[in-house]
Amino acid sequence: MALPSPGSTDRTRVRRLGEKAVTDRDVLHRVLDAALVAHVAVSDDQGRPYVLPVAYARDGDRVLIHGSTGSRLFRSLAAGAPTCLTVTLLDGLVVARSAFESSMNYRSAMVFGVCDVLDGDAKTAALDTLTDHLLPGRRAELRTHKAKELAATLVLALPLDETSVKISAGHPDDDADDLDTPIWAGTVPLGETFYDPIPAPDLRFELPVPEYVRTWRR
């Protein structure tokens, strides 16, 4: 059965600047695959909202996140609290001739739903997927997870069943009256920068920087 397109529910339909809405699931996947950090919303037992920054990875038609079993907020998610996960990639500043028309270029995704708790082999596989999303190829050289590490970690999967994608790109759209104003306008591209790796001070061996670290760029 085909999964719903982004923006196909009343909650996920883009109303403000609807022309920026994207309904292609492949675009949803590309946005989620390009970022490293998501923000997850959850309320505590007193109804107070929190937003948690988390490492995540897309695994097919779900998003994987993990946290400590000691986290009351993660325990709340594991118990079935509804959530909204968001990812934003900032691609540039749009500098218009007025503050009102100035904006940003971005790719963003929202995922609504309830998380599933992963255990056993599914939990281990999910942790491996998370590791390789951050540094592709890293998991292959690491030791296996210790039992106490697995016991201390909650791994959750959020299905990509109810989603929204919004993309903004392009140059300023100034009012015609402002075009004769002698003010610079344009775009300032932005992106992530990865610097030279820094060895740990307690590294006991003369080891080259792994290929997956040296060559990895998004």
Label residue 184 by pLDDT band (50, 70, 90). Answer: very high
Task: Say if CB 156 and CB 73 are below 8 A apart.
Answer: no
Q: Phi-psi bin for 6: left (phi > 0), alpha (psi -120 to 50), beta?
A: beta
Whether the per-residue pLDDT at 125 is higher than 90: the answer is yes
17: CB partners within 8 A, 6+ apart: 166, 168
Query: Within a 13 Å sphere around the CA of 97, how many CA atoms are in the beta-carbon half?
Result: 12
The amino acid that residue 160 corresponds to is L
Whether the per-residue pLDDT at 1 is higher than 70: the answer is no
Q: How far apart are CA 47 and CA 45, in angstroms?
A: 6
**Alpha helices in the chain, H assignment, sequence order:** 25-34, 72-78, 120-134, 147-151, 211-214
pTM: 0.91
Residues 14-66: pLDDT tens digits?
Answer: 887 778 888 899 999 999 999 999 999 999 888 899 999 999 999 999 999 99
Structure tokens at 105: 């270029």
The amino acid that residue 88 corresponds to is T
Residue 16: predicted pLDDT? 79
Q: How far apart are CA 19 and CA 135, in angstroms?
A: 34
**Strand pairing class (162-168; 62-68):** unpaired
- The mean pLDDT value of the chain amounts to 93
Task: Say if CB 174 and CB 96 are below 8 A apart.
Answer: yes
CA-closest candidate to residue 106, choices 187, 13, 174, 12: 187
